[in-house]
Amino acid sequence: MEHLEHLAKQQWLIPALPLLAAAIQSLLPRSQRKLSAGLCLFAMGAACVIAVRAFLATLGHHGEGHEEVRAVANFTWFEYGTTTLAMGFILDPLTAGMAAMVTFVGFFIFLNATGYMHDDENFARFFCFLSLFAAAMLGLVVSNNLLMLFMCWELVGLCSYLLIGFWFHKPSAAAACKKAFITTRIGDVGFFLGILMLYWKTGTLNLYDGGNGALEQAGGLATVAGWWGLSAATTIAVLLFIGAMGKSAQFPLHVWLPDAMEGPTPVSALIHAATMVAAGVFMVGRMFALFAAGGTPEHPTFAMDMVLWVGCFTALFSASIAVAQFDIKRVLAYSTCSQLGLMMMSLGAGGYSAGQFHLLTHAFFKALLFLGSGCVIIGTHHEQDMRKMGGLKKYMPITFWCYLAGMLALSGVPPFAGFFSKDEVLLETFHRSKIAWGMATFAAFLTAFYMTRQMYMVFAGKWRGGDHGHGKTAGHGHGHGHHEPHEVPWNMWVPIAVLSVFAVFLGFAGTPLIGGNLFHHYLAPGEHADTEGAGLVMGISVAIGALGIFLGYLVYGRKPMQHADEPDPLAKMGGLFTALNRKWYVDEFYEATIIRLTMATGTFFRMFDKLVVDGILHGIVALTRAISQVFRWIGDELLINGGFDAGCEGVRASGGLLSKFQSGRVQNYFAFLGVGTILLLAAYFFISIQ
C-alpha cells in the first residue's frame, strides 16, 4: 500500500501534463502546426505512461482479500480565516482504469486528428483545445474532491463548447455548441445543488479522507432526512444524477448530443463517445456509495430506481431513433446515448462493476467507430450522408475491417468486447427487474439492426457518391483529381487498427468464462456476483443480436441501394419511420413548450412593466409636479427672485474676473490642485521644523 500512496501523490501529473501543453500551445503562433500537435501527443503519451503505471500498481493489489484498494493524497487548497478548503487526488481501481483508458484512447484519437484536421487552417488552435480538454477530463478522473470534480466537469463542458463550435462560421455548429452548453448547464444546476447539500450535511467535499470523507459518511447520511421525504443521501444522489443526466445525455436532457456532431469527427470520438459523456456515468460510479446508501438489493433507494429507469428508457428510446437516421455520425450519436443508458441502467440495478466495465469497453469500440466514420468522411471527401456512400469496402479495405470489428463489438456478437460487457449489464438488470431487462434486450436488438443497416449502406453495394453534384468535392484540398473515395493516410488508420484490437479482445478481461470475471474482482472485490440465470440471459442476448443482424441483412443486404435518392426500405412503415427520423419530435416539443413558455413569460412581464410599474411612476411624477407648481407660485416668484436678482449682478462682475483662470482643461485644474497640495505640505513642514 505504501507504493500506492506514493503513486497517489503523483496522480496530479496526469492532468498537469496536458494542461501545461495547452498553456504552451495557446501561446504558439498559428503557423506552428507540427509543434502544436507534437506537444499535444507528447503530453498525452506521457500522461498515458503515468496512468498505466498507476493502473498496473493497483492491478498488483487485487486479490488481497476483500479489502478495497485505495490511496488518496489530500492537501489544503486554501485557508480562509478558520475555514479550510481541502482538495485531493485519488488512486483506486475506478480512477486508474478510467485514467488509463482516457489517456490511451485519447492518444490515438489525437493521432487520428492530425490526419482529419490536416487541411484546417486553425490546426494549432484545435490541438490546444484538445489538450485542455484532456487535462480537464483527467482532472475530473483523478480528483478526490467533489468541488474539484465539478470544476473539471465545467471545464470539460467549456472545452466541449469550444470544440463543437470549432467551425463556428457554420451557423449549425454555432447553434449546436450553444445548445450543448445550455442543456448540460441545466443538469449542472442539479449537480451544484447536490454539492452544496453534501457540504451542508457533511462539512467536507473530499470523497475519501481516512474515515471523514463525504462518501465514508454515506451510511450516516442515509438516516438523516433530506427533501421531498427522501433521506439526505438519496436527495443528494438524485441532485447529482440530474447533473449526470445532462453530461451523459440521458433523456430528457439528451437533445444536445446528436447536434454536437457538428464538431470535427475526432472531437465526436473523444468527447461524445469515449470520455466526456462517460463522465456522467463515471461520476455516478464514483458517488455510488451515496446512491446505494440506505437501500437493500430488495428495496433499493429512490435514486437507484431513478438511475435504472432513466437509463433503461434512454437506451430503448435512442436506439429506436438511431434506426432511422441517415447521417453516419448521427447514427453513432444516438447509439452512444443508448449505450450510456445501458450503463446507467446497470448502475441503477446495482451492477457497479458491470456498468463501469461496459463504460470501458464501449469507450474503445465507440471511439473506433467514430474514428472509422471520420476516415470514411475524409475518404469520401467530406460526405456524411450514408445514402451517398456505398461500396467503400473496395476503396477503403483497412477502414472496413476495423469498422467491422467495432460494429460487431457494439452489436454484442461473441467474443467481441461489447458482448461480454453488455451481457453482464443485462444480467444485472435481469436480477433487478424483468421489464427493464426486456426493454434493454430490445434495445440491444435494435442496436444490432441499425449497425448492420449502417454497414450495408456504407460499405456494401456500389459507390453512389457520383450521383450528385460534383461541385461539392471540387476544389477540395484532398482531391487527387478524381472524386472516387480513397484510403486514408497512416496516421488515420493506425489508431483505428489499434483500437480494433482492443474492441476484439478487451472483453476477456470481464468474461465469466475464464477464471471468473477478472474485472469484477479488480473493481469491486466486495461486491457479490449473482450468476443465476446467466446462461439464459447470455443465450437470449446472443440470439437477439444474431436476429438483429439477420433482419438487417434481409432489409438492407439482399438488395443494396442503387441510387442515393432511393427511399429507405423501412420508409414503408410510414408515420413511425418519419417520427423516428425526426427523433420522436423531442426538439419540436421543447420548441413548443419550454421555449415558448419562456417567451410568453417575458412578454407578460413586459406588459406588467408597461402597465402597472410605469403607471405608478407616472402617477408619482404628476403628483410631484403639482406640488412643485404650488411652491413656484408662492415661494419662488414672489420672494426669492426679487432678492436674488440684485445679488446676481455683483457675483457676475467678480465671476468675470475669475473666469480668466477657467481654461476648460481638466488637467490644468488638476495641476493647480497639485501645486496647492505641495504648497500646503511645504508650509506644514516648514512650520513643524520651526
Partner 1 sequence: MTIPLGHYLILAGVIFSIGLAGALTRKNAIIVLIAIELMFNAAILNLIAFWHYKQYAALTGQMFAVFAIGIAAAESAIGLALVIAIYRQSKTVDVDEIRSLKG
Partner 2 sequence: MDYAFWIISGITVLGALLAVTLRNLVHCVLSLILFFLGIAAHYFLLRADFVGAVQILIYIGAVAVLILFAIMLTRNVTGADGPREVIGVKWWAGSVIAALTAFLLSFAVSGDKLAGTISPGDKAYVGVADIGRGFVGDWVVPFEVMAVLLTAALIGAVVIALEEIRHRR
**Footprint of partner 2 on this chain (CB under 8 A)?**
80-82, 667, 671, 674-675, 677-678, 681-682, 685
Q: Look up residue 417 and give its three cell numbers.
A: 468486447
Q: Select from 78, 665, 686, 688 the one that contacts partner 1 (CB under 8 A).
A: 665
Q: Which does 595 bind (CB under 5 to 8 A by kind): partner 2, partner 1, none?
A: none
452 closest CA partner among 362, 385, 549: 549
Q: Look up residue 485 and give its three cell numbers.
A: 473515395
- Of 600 and 671, the one with the shorter C-beta distance to partner 1 is 671
Q: Select from 83, 667, 688, 690 the one that contacts partner 1 (CB under 8 A).
A: 667
CA dihedral angle for residue 685, residue 686, residue 687, residue 690, rounded to 10 degrees: 110
Q: How many residues does the structure list for the chain?
A: 690
Q: How far is the CB of 670 from partner 1 (least distance, A)?
A: 6
Judge contact between 314 and 250, C-beta under 8 A.
yes
Q: How far is CA 60 from CA 64, 141, 429, 526, in A?
A: 9, 21, 30, 17
Q: Is 78 helix (H, G, I), strand (E, B) or coil?
A: strand
Q: Phi and psi at residue 233, in whole multiples of 5°?
A: -60, -45
Cα 356 from chain centroid (whole Å)? 17
Q: Is 663 in the site for partner 1 (CB under 8 A)?
A: yes
Q: How far is the CB of 685 from partner 2 (least distance, A)?
A: 7
- Of 593 and 677, the one with the shorter C-beta distance to partner 2 is 677
Q: Select from 662, 680, 684, 685 the one that contacts partner 1 (CB under 8 A).
A: 662
Q: How far is the CB of 673 from partner 1 (least distance, A)?
A: 9
Q: How far is the CB of 78 from partner 2 (least distance, A)?
A: 10
Residue partners of 275: CB distance under 8 A and separation at least 6: 102, 105, 106, 137, 363
Q: Look up residue 652 and give its three cell numbers.
A: 457676475
Q: Which does 640 bind (CB under 5 to 8 A by kind): partner 2, partner 1, none?
A: none
- Of 82 and 654, the one with the shorter C-beta distance to partner 2 is 82
Burial string for 357-377 (b: 16+ CB within 10 Å, else e) reads: bbbbbbbbbbbbbbbbbbbbb
Q: How far is the CB of 666 from partner 1 (least distance, A)?
A: 5
CB count in 10 Å sphere of residue 413: 18
Q: Which does 82 bind (CB under 5 to 8 A by kind): partner 2, partner 1, none?
A: partner 2
DSSP per-residue string spanning 91-154:
ESHHHHHHHHHHHHHHHHHHHHHHHHTTT-TTHHHHHHHHHHHHHHHHHHHHB-BHHHHHHHHH
The count of chain residues that interact with partner 1, using the rule CB under 8 A, is 14
- Of 82 and 690, the one with the shorter C-beta distance to partner 2 is 82
Q: Is 688 in the site for partner 1 (CB under 8 A)?
A: no
Judge contact between 340 and 314, C-beta under 8 A.
yes
Stretch that binds partner 1, among 271-279, 325-333, 601-609, 663-671 (CB under 8 A): 663-671
Question: Cα–Cα distance between 138 and 279 in angstroms, integer?
Answer: 10
Q: How far is CA 355 from CA 94, 250, 410, 422, in A?
A: 11, 15, 15, 9
Q: Is 659 in the site for partner 1 (CB under 8 A)?
A: yes
Judge contact between 122 and 64, C-beta under 8 A.
no
Q: Which does 685 bind (CB under 5 to 8 A by kind): partner 2, partner 1, none?
A: partner 2
Q: Is 219 in the site for partner 1 (CB under 8 A)?
A: no
- Of 29 and 65, the one with the shorter C-beta distance to partner 2 is 29
Q: How far is the CB of 219 from partner 2 (least distance, A)?
A: 32
- As a 3-state breakdown, the chain gives helix, strand, coil percent values, each rounded to 5, of 75, 5, 20
Q: Is 672 in the site for partner 1 (CB under 8 A)?
A: no
Question: Cα–Cα distance between 71 and 85 in angstroms, integer?
Answer: 20
Q: Is 674 in the site for partner 1 (CB under 8 A)?
A: yes
DSSP per-residue string spanning 436-464:
HHHHHHHHHHHHHHHHHHHHHHHHSS---
Residue partners of 313: CB distance under 8 A and separation at least 6: 251, 341, 439
Question: Cα–Cα distance between 504 and 449 in angstroms, integer?
Answer: 20
Q: Which does 664 bind (CB under 5 to 8 A by kind): partner 2, partner 1, none?
A: partner 1
- Of 648 and 675, the one with the shorter C-beta distance to partner 2 is 675
The dihedral through the CA atoms of 659, 665, 670, 671 has a sign that is negative
Stretch that binds partner 1, among 153-161, 490-498, 630-638, 652-660 (CB under 8 A): 652-660
Q: Phi and psi at residue 485, in whole multiples of 5°?
A: -65, 160
Q: Is 651 in the site for partner 1 (CB under 8 A)?
A: no
Q: How far is the CB of 407 from partner 2 (least distance, A)?
A: 50
Q: Is 435 in the site for partner 1 (CB under 8 A)?
A: no
Q: Is 664 in the site for partner 1 (CB under 8 A)?
A: yes
- Of 435 and 671, the one with the shorter C-beta distance to partner 1 is 671
Q: Is 666 in the site for partner 1 (CB under 8 A)?
A: yes
- Of 172 and 662, the one with the shorter C-beta distance to partner 1 is 662
Stretch that binds partner 1, among 302-310, 418-426, 459-467, 657-665 (CB under 8 A): 657-665
- Of 608 and 672, the one with the shorter C-beta distance to partner 1 is 672
Q: How far is the CB of 667 from partner 1 (least distance, A)?
A: 6
Residues that bind partner 1 (CB under 8 A): 655, 658-667, 670-671, 674
